[in-house]
Amino acid sequence: MSSHQFFDNTTLANYDPTNYSEYDLIDSLDSEFLQIDSQLLYLWKVNYTNTYASADEIDKMYGEVREVIYEPEPIRVYMKTTQSPVITELQRFGISQTGEIIFVYNRNDTIDKLGREPSYGDIIKVNWFEADGKYSSWFYKISTNNAGEQFRDRYFSSIIIATQTALSDVPAHILNYTIKD
């Protein structure tokens, strides 16, 4: 066997789908990079059990719920925030849009924290401190959750597209929540 054949990693013989240590390493690196790059983010999960239990006959007939019930306490999540490329292009023409944002998160780390993947209707609170020391926050409601970066046959990161939520649409216990850590 020549040395070229021995180190040739283009053959299927070198692909080992059961090499979990390799996947764990990439997954932990992805998780750490997102934790370093993350803003202060909190996520309120939709409590589906209570939400659907409180639905009236009209809601059940049309398959939608007008009154969504959220968990009382948020969960600190680590996600990278970025703008949609469409919004970036609109800003080049002087059109300012802050209504849509993209969140990138590590699937396994986030599922461990939430007990499930982030889903439609969950609210994310984006927090930051201004230059003058004042604290500001925006609220985003998840619209879609898509698979993101792939390593071989597994997805480690996923992408959320969320729309900015009007303060009048944010439940009072979420709007008035104060950071405890």
Q: What is the pLDDT of residues 62-115, one digit of tens each?
A: 777 778 889 999 999 999 888 777 777 777 777 766 678 889 888 888 999 999
Range of the domain at 74: 19-175
> How deeply is 158 buried, as exposed, middle or buried, from its count of CB atoms within 10 A (0-12, 13-18, 19+)?
buried
Residue 76 forms part of a structural domain: yes
- Per-residue model confidence (pLDDT) at position 71: 92
What are the CA-CA distances from residue 105 to residues 35, 41, 88, 95 (Å)? 9, 11, 21, 28
Residue 169 forms part of a structural domain: yes
Residue 11 forms part of a structural domain: no
pLDDT digits (tens, 9 = 90+) for 8-67: 445 545 555 666 677 777 778 888 888 888 888 999 999 888 877 777 777 777 777 778
pLDDT digits (tens, 9 = 90+) for 44-55: 999 888 877 777
Residue 4 forms part of a structural domain: no
Residue 9 forms part of a structural domain: no
Residue 2 forms part of a structural domain: no
Count of structural domains within the chain: 1
Residue 38 forms part of a structural domain: yes
pTM: 0.76
Residue 1 forms part of a structural domain: no
CA proximity to 121, closest of 176, 68, 58, 56: 68
